[in-house]
Amino acid sequence: MPTPLLFNANWYLSQNPDVATAIEGGAPFNAFEHFLLYGRTEGRSASPLFDPQQYLANNPDVADAVAQGLITAWDHFELFGGAEGRSPTPLFDPDFYLQQNPDVAEAVANGHIASAVQHFLLFGQGEPRGINPAIHLGQYLNANPDLAEAAANGQVNPLEHLLQYGVGEGRNLGNGVSLSLFANDPSFMQALNSGNAVQALIRVETVAPFLPTFQPPPGWAPPANTPIPVDFVPPAGSGLSLVIPESVNVPPGVTLPPVFSPVNSLPVPAPVPAPAPVPAPAPVPGSGDTGNEVSVTFTMTNTAGTLDFGGDATGAITFTIEADKVIAVRGGITRELAVDTSTLTGSNVPAGTNVVVAAGTLVLTAAQAQGRSITGTGNLTLTGQSTIAQVLGIDFGGVDGVVTYSITDSAAAILAQIASDFTNHTTVIENAVAVATNDAAPVELLMVDALTLSNAVAKGNAGITITNGYSINDTAASILNAFSADDSVINNATAITATGTADRDAFDFNDNRLPATCSSN
């Protein structure tokens, strides 16, 4: 199963100011289209969760294939690397992830999922789990209530927020480490000022075990040979002193600087109080709960044709959709809702929640399905028009039934995806029930691109609708050769311009096969 990475337009433009400047200047592409057409081949970063240069540095076999032009780093990770357990970022530690998450380790061992990396990208980042000893995404959200609320509403991805904003805002990681403690540290600040948030957080991971307030993950201790950050500089006037963890050995000949407390006078950590008992929730009126049998809640309502879900149950939602009702199960709690399912137009599945369609057809908009893994023996329908980026942002490879969606996007994006489908043996365009361009004006195309968009073979039997028409600007030879392939492509063009001196001299504009719109340039 492929491991999808979600394209992040804000990140892409912030990391590539030349692209941002070109778009602001009226370039004929948006951020995603530039990435598809040029960026991924150029090795540009399209997500804070994927560092293409580090990926190639860590995987010389992939770097060799990329150097030969066989594949890009991004495509390799999505198609192969994630399933093979190759980490997309130096911040993600697969061994630590498996050690801290025995349920994931068991799933990987049993072949239910390919790797720790794949589990994290499909599920773990939304659940949310720890990625290394110094960063636990759940703790990060708990320490920042504004982010927790936004994440619950599906408005923010905690790791992407940390990389794009949190590291620069000096946020609290929720494990006894505040990023404001690094405001005077040269290594951290140099990485931050150069726009390398990943390297800044690697510095945090290096120093965190030596902070006296650090709360290590359960069952984890830094190895004996952990490098000691003797160059760390605390905030001026903070009085902060680093400590040597009991499990770490100070190598012979290493003199600890004044920023470290003497090894023989380490502070004794205060005992951790036992957690207060959590009272059982009150029964939910009309839910069938007694308050004693179930400690979590799960609700499902129908609001003007859209299913809404609430409660604090966790895990995937399993749907069974019948003609007159919807049955949903989450966290062992079953909810049944009487409704004419033909009238449903969408489902607001909570952020970070994956979906199983046990039977029937689940209806979602592309936006509601974003970033989810959808599996099951039922069917999936994406209502409305979806962009290519939205379709690529949904993992529905595990749906055994029929997946129905329509694509509306720019001609450039559609052409790029047709090329990607051909290269990667995928069928994103072919499997759409309808494909249409949304360019505001007629698009100017080369002959080969006009043939590609107009040729029904490129899109199964449905064809591709070029909404506002197209013009052709190409050599005379290419234009005349098109007649032998499909003269309707010529006849349907709003204008045709033949270029190239040699071709123009040999071009007979009186050829009665040519439409009246044909001219030379």
* Rounded Cα–Cα distance for residues 392 and 366 (Å): 10
Q: pTM of the prediction?
A: 0.52
Here the tokens at position 275 are 């957690």
* Rounded Cα–Cα distance for residues 136 and 159 (Å): 9
* Rounded Cα–Cα distance for residues 182 and 393 (Å): 35
Here the tokens at position 49 are 């969760």
Dihedral-angle region of residue 233 (phi above 0 means left; psi in -120 to 50 means alpha; beta otherwise) = beta
* Rounded Cα–Cα distance for residues 252 and 447 (Å): 72
3-class state of residue 383 by DSSP: strand
Dihedral-angle region of residue 43 (phi above 0 means left; psi in -120 to 50 means alpha; beta otherwise) = left
Q: How many CA atoms lie within 13 A of 329 on its CB side?
A: 9
Asked whether 377 and 398 are in contact (CB, 8 A), the reply is no
- pLDDT per residue as tens, the chain (521 positions): 667 777 888 888 988 999 999 999 998 889 888 988 899 899 998 888 888 998 999 999 999 999 999 999 999 998 899 889 999 999 999 999 999 999 999 999 998 888 999 898 888 888 889 999 999 999 999 999 988 888 887 788 899 899 989 999 999 999 999 999 999 999 999 999 988 899 999 999 999 999 999 999 999 999 999 999 999 999 988 889 999 999 999 999 888 999 998 764 444 444 444 444 434 333 333 333 333 333 457 788 887 777 877 777 666 787 777 778 888 877 667 788 887 877 777 777 776 566 767 667 787 777 777 767 787 777 888 877 889 988 888 888 777 788 888 888 898 888 888 888 878 888 888 888 888 888 888 888 887 787 777 764 444 445 688 888 888 888 777 776 665 545 677 778 888 887 765 444 445 545 544 554 555 55
**Peptide bond between residue 128 and the one before it cis (omega within 30 degrees of 0):** yes
Q: Please name the residues in contact with 103: beta carbons below 8 A apart, sequence gap of 6 or more.
A: none
Here the tokens at position 410 are 């720019």
Question: Scanning the structure block, which residue is given the tokens 């689940």?
Answer: 362
